[in-house]
Structure 1
Amino acid sequence: MPYKQYTLTPTRDPYSSTGIYIPIDIEDAIAELDKALSDTVKTELKAANNLFDYHFTLGEWMRQNWGLWLGSRLAQHFHDMNVLNPDLMSIFLLRSYQEHLNRPPETVETLLHSLENKRLTPDNFFRKVGEVAQKLVNCDRASFWLIDREKEEVRTKVVVNDKQKTVRVAIGQGLMGQVAESGEMIAIPFDFYKSSHPQVEAIKALDDRVFYRTCSTLTIPVRKASGELLGVMHLINKTQPGNFPPYHPETHPTAPERWRTSFNREDIAIIDRLNQTVSQLIDRVFY
């Protein structure tokens, strides 16, 4: 298949050696391919009989843009698995992604069960929880923030320049800090930019710097069964089902059609179920 037929819209990362976000592991790579590939290519890959047909197209793109020849963190993940050749790495990724496309649809129960059975550590906990939240309610971004009462802040971990970085927000500041302080949910529907919430201008300014478009948000407290507040779940841009073109930063600040919707009561109920699971896992992982 000619390379030009791929309409890839990968996550940009100005701190990456390739300018493209480089996944941490295979699971992260699958999530990135889900975001970057069109529905047409996904359908073709799902039914492909010979994945080697993609070796010099999509496979080549992964080898080049994910730094598989350059010893990137994804390449190092394969080295730890004793897979040393970048050609074999890309074939492995193609097979893993095809298997992902052919799995039965994930349900709330299977996603929560998968989180409970992951090898969670203080380093990967934030990313793994965010990935499950993102899938559960079909949104573009999701993050978990842990409350630190001693430092009066909430914190999460993000990947910057191929390294994990802790991001901290003072309790009372920003959407996450406000929910950590009040214990009350904040839901801002589409169009976020037209909301009267006091955080809108600050988030618009951040969007301008990174060429993103926040359209809707949902920020929910995470509590123990006793009611003790442990953290905050923050979700951005509920995504409509259907065949919409991926978001292109070049269209900023126009709101894309795929995000012209809002989080609803069902989403809140699902995240509440996730939060119950998360609250039970926090003690196991952090304390």
Structure 2
Amino acid sequence: MEIHSAPRTPSPAAEPVHPLVRLGDGPPLAVAHGAGGGIVANVGELAEHLPGRTLLGLDYPGVDGQIPQTPLTLDRLADDLVAATVAEGHDRFPLLGVSLGSAVAVTAALRHPERITALVLTVGFARPDAQSTAFARLYQDLALADREQDLARLLVLCSGSPGALAGIDDVDAAVAATVADGAGRHRALATHMDLVLRVDLSAADLAQVRQPSLVVGAGADRIVLPSSTRALAQAVPGARHVELPDAGHIFAGDEVAVWAGHVARFLDEHDR
């Protein structure tokens, strides 16, 4: 395991750190995004529903389409995010993680407990389950074979909810839009999936979390099993668990508003 319970200094730089992304206005909420995503892609809509917060995050290496020179690690991603947020002038702040970013958030809380005031772990997991393992490996295989059309079909099929799929009238257009959004970056983003497959937060690690925590799950998640997010909530001491029963892995539309409501109420109560 690469997690340590004691505060640590930031890891030595091995890759250039992207500029800090800022969304919104108000007290800080640091954000760790999911594999294959980015700050704007994962929480851009959320920021619109949290008008009293500034969301701050770093895009992971690979989001810019450049293949990272060294493997990603939870420690490095956590240290970089904390260091960048502190450099912005925030000594203490809550941290929201999405999917893989939930493991980054837990790592940050354990390595920098003096900095993190509260955690929001969204569609997260302690270790890859059968569903997320199959998804990550298939993503890697398709990306490395430059099968962008097939990879786009996988993302359209798995990312949203059944309700979102039911609302798609033209699947080919949705696939084409997803290919365009990837813009040839999937080989670089496949490195995120390598980290997904290496996540291993033990029960002992999670038991050391001392920050108030909210775990948000998706009942129709087809990337991370809903049971994995429920297990994460059970393993974090005192965590509050809420689940959007019809939501898929990527929240959209009204689901974002519901997510934001849970986040806002939790932070109003616990971000002191």
So what's the TM-score if we normalise by structure 1?
A: 0.25
Instruction: Please identify the structure whose Cα radius of gyration is greater.
Output: 1
- With normalisation by structure 2, the TM-score equals 0.26
